[in-house]
Amino acid sequence: MNRETQSVKVDEAYQVISRDYDAHRDRSPYFRIIEGLTHRCFYENTEGKSFARGLDAGCGTGRNLPHYLKKCDHVAGFDYTPEMLQFAKEKFQNEKRVRLMLGDVCHLPFPDQTFDLIGSFKVLPHVPKVLEGIREIERVARPGAIIFLEFYSPYSFRYLLNRMKHYTKWHSLRESKRLIARAGLKVRKVYGLRTFMATEYLTYLPGAYQLFNFLENRFTHSGLNRFSGYYVIVCEKQGS
């Protein structure tokens, strides 16, 4: 694995974050909404389909792996931070259909055209040479593959209030689409997430979970997208 394409700070940061990553997400109404939106997007775009090989690019602690397992015969996952990956390995140690490894999205150890379903959720904003990462994903995707790529927007409450700026890159929707086009992928759909939830703390107020869950789900495809904190862009590798 070539660690030179990544700033040292990202794995240092995620080494610390890994200790509370799952516990924080499991108890937070904010993350229940965010992950619910991510899963809605995943299932809406894979409905009625099954896949031979899935790839979770930057799988972290493996929170999304159960969803790939529902859709794919075999699932590979990799992550740059050993401490994050360790949690995923422990969770899936008895699952023979899952293969997990340490890795960098800019240098994937897979042959061309291996996967027919790929997701990279909340990873690319941490990759300094993001175009290299998207090109690698495109390389290992089979023609016709469905690919989910997530970006962080600078035109959002989230950008204004965020404390992770030192190891995060921010791309407007237009920049994200340009990167995807340069990597040779076609955009199918855009989901805007975290458009209304200015901070996580707000979601703990009485009634706030229901309100934000409604608003966020209602406006994923609206023009307000340009102010969303996150974009999940559903792409396709053309050909068949």
Ligand X SMILES: C[S@@+](CC[C@H](N)C(=O)[O-])C[C@H]1O[C@@H](n2cnc3c(N)ncnc32)[C@H](O)[C@@H]1O
**Residue numbers of the site for ligand X (CB under 6 A)?**
6, 10, 14, 58-60, 63-64, 79-81, 84, 104-106, 121-123, 126-127
* Nearest-CB residue for ligand X: 60
Query: H or E segment at 180?
Result: helix 173-182
Integer-rounded Cα Rg, in Å, for the chain is 17
Closest to ligand X by CB, 1 vs 215, is 1
Q: How far is the CB of 138 from ligand X (least distance, A)?
A: 15
Closest to ligand X by CB, 105 vs 145, is 105
With contact defined as beta carbons under 8 Å apart, do 68 and 115 qualify?
Answer: no
The most distant pair of C-alpha atoms in the chain lies apart, rounded to whole Å, by 50
Closest to ligand X by CB, 162 vs 224, is 162
Q: How far is the CB of 150 from ligand X (least distance, A)?
A: 8
Burial 101-125 (b: 16+ CB within 10 A, else e): eebbbbebeeeeebbbbbbbbbbbb
Query: H or E segment at 235?
Result: strand 230-236
Closest to ligand X by CB, 82 vs 143, is 82
Query: H or E segment at 146?
Result: strand 141-152
Q: How far is the CB of 223 from ligand X (least distance, A)?
A: 26
With contact defined as beta carbons under 8 Å apart, do 7 and 14 qualify?
Answer: no
Q: How far is the CB of 62 from ligand X (least distance, A)?
A: 8
Closest to ligand X by CB, 3 vs 205, is 3
Q: How far is the CB of 38 from ligand X (least distance, A)?
A: 7
